[in-house]
A and B are shown apart, each in its own frame.
Chain A
């Protein structure tokens, strides 16, 4: 029996090892070296500590296996009687201590380097909220939201998953290479954590407080990460994409963005006097609703009972119009409902409120125009 059991185990282990090996082709099994000086230092530290652990493991487990093989009763061994040895005990207290000092010195140097955010060339304010990132360039008049771009059809298996499944966004963060970029990280609601493995940057976004981190990227490219702190239902659907460009390209991009945002604001002013038709409002509204609201209130407006309120046939969506505008524009303090005032244009706000008041059988017949939103905000101030 014993022999057969052993054979079975060896067979299973071999099977498992070959599965791992075949899975290993093209599958990343180790930490990334990343694309910054810091990330490479971090990788070096990781490998150093790993090899030290392997060496200790070989010695300790080696002694154990020799003992298991040689000092077994079935070989007729008589047990020895010793039960302590002061010299050995001092040695295996002091030697690990020295090894630890050997690890602590480079770790300390690296940490001091990572925490030094002084003399940066560019600052980006990163704000996490359920479940998207907001990027604001402090040195330029540019800010925008970054939402996951993977469609629900892929998540729920109605379409095949594509290469960057769950790691793609509508508007990535764009930064220049070779510059010291300082990230100021905070949150609007719960704690999030902004993590891009290739930069070895992971910092928590704490509501009400601002954390700092920095990076200097060596190579242009697209780098992907994810939110790393449990932040509610869609924690797994909050990716980060960073595009690093050459300085000249970056300058061109950021100037284009500044211009585009300025144009959009001017356009918005102009459109305030223009009425949108019901069809226009409803189709834009549905689009905005699905990208901004559906994560909580659900595409069918039913919400999740006890967690997120429904909008179909209940609450503000069929009640007072101004109260409805108020909660979308200003949010609701003490709940997960955030303020959309800075995240959506007045046109989009008007459209999404119209959509909520008329979709899913709500049929209030109310059409909210950008001018109504403008008036509400003016009256609010």
Chain B
């Protein structure tokens, strides 16, 4: 009898122990499954990443020495016409050879360093971000002319050229965001650069020593007012 009681109480203890342990592990399991949400700050812009500013610099001297092929120049108008709005990724204005391939094998063959493409009678524009090889995640081809339904969307005015100087003759500020376009020379130098924004001095390389952005995402500090002075009194 005593032996049986002993066995029963042992099982009861084991059962209670199991319940407690199971409950505990269930609770902690719940806790682990919870991923705390990190509070976002007021802004996540602050300043511009500069990765890639010097990326095409080894080509700078070649760019500087290249004669201008007047008959095959791109214009800023065609540059912007190739985008849904100012700042949008350009769409692909030509037929695509391989539907199922990564950019490294196809797009970059022409768009990494540029060059004349006889088939399109044009120079291939150079991508500022060749390290991102899933090109067609952002750049899509235009295969149809008509729309599913009309749209009321209107394009935002793109920055103008020649109005970004603070002083007569001072170097123009950068009027556009540079995220993914930190590589200045990709768009501003070489035969595919739109003629209005083709830089006359690509060999200078350290572009941001003279040209600074005019619209950083910095936290707006508002005009500073000194509070411990009373100059007017």
Q: Specify whether A and B are partners.
A: no
Interface of B toward A, CB cutoff 8 Å: none
